[in-house]
Amino acid sequence: MNTHNKRVFLGFSLTEQQTRVISLLQSQLPNNVRLVPKANLHMTLAFLGQISSHQLSQLNEQIELINKRTFKVTLNELAYWQKPNILCLKGVANDANLLQLANDTQWIAKKLNLHQSEYNYTPHITLCRKAKPTMEALINSISLSALTLNPTQLHLFESYSGEHGVKYPILESWKLK
């Protein structure tokens, strides 16, 4: 494997207020789960996997070309996803601009031979990793308030393991219009 490859995903940052809401939600979770640190909280648009520097350059060019319109999405349901073993706050992608962005990024992933999701797009914020199936039973006991996001920028994040855990630095950003 090329050492210049990066593991990347597209997503949206949270505001300080949104991060506080998520932190309050996380504080209700059991101690035996691995909470996503505040600095890593985001709403995922598309996981793209390993990418070479050449593909990264092509990705940037392709994202420049697509319409990146503002959208609004409400995340109002907790879900345990067995395959990645996560607990997340999720919503329904019913805003046409968000759906178009999700479709466009999957089309770009296919064109550049990057990872493509096998599932329909579900807007979500991962709350914790290494969740166990027993988490599903706890979902109803967690006090939840809906969180509405209206991001102003799309970000390309890198995901790498550092000395103090996983880091998600932003490699590139595009303004939503």
Identify the three-state secondary structure at position 101: helix
pLDDT, position 140: 85
Give the model's pLDDT for residue 3.
Answer: 54
Whole-number pLDDT of residue 33: 86
Distance CA 143, CA 25 (A): 7
Determine the pLDDT at residue 2.
47
Prediction pTM value: 0.93
The confidence score (pLDDT) of residue 99 equals: 97
Q: Which residues of 1-13 are buried (b: 16+ CB within 10 A; e: fewer)?
A: eeeeebbbbbbbb
Digitized pLDDT (tens) for each residue of the chain, 177 residues in all: 445 799 999 999 999 999 999 999 999 998 888 999 999 999 999 999 999 999 999 999 999 999 999 999 999 999 999 888 899 999 999 999 999 999 999 999 999 999 999 989 999 999 998 888 888 888 888 989 899 999 999 999 999 998 888 899 999 999 999
Query: How deeply is 143 buried, as exposed, middle or buried, from its count of CB atoms within 10 A (0-12, 13-18, 19+)?
Result: exposed
Structure confidence at residue 1 (pLDDT): 42
Give the single-character DSSP code of 15: P
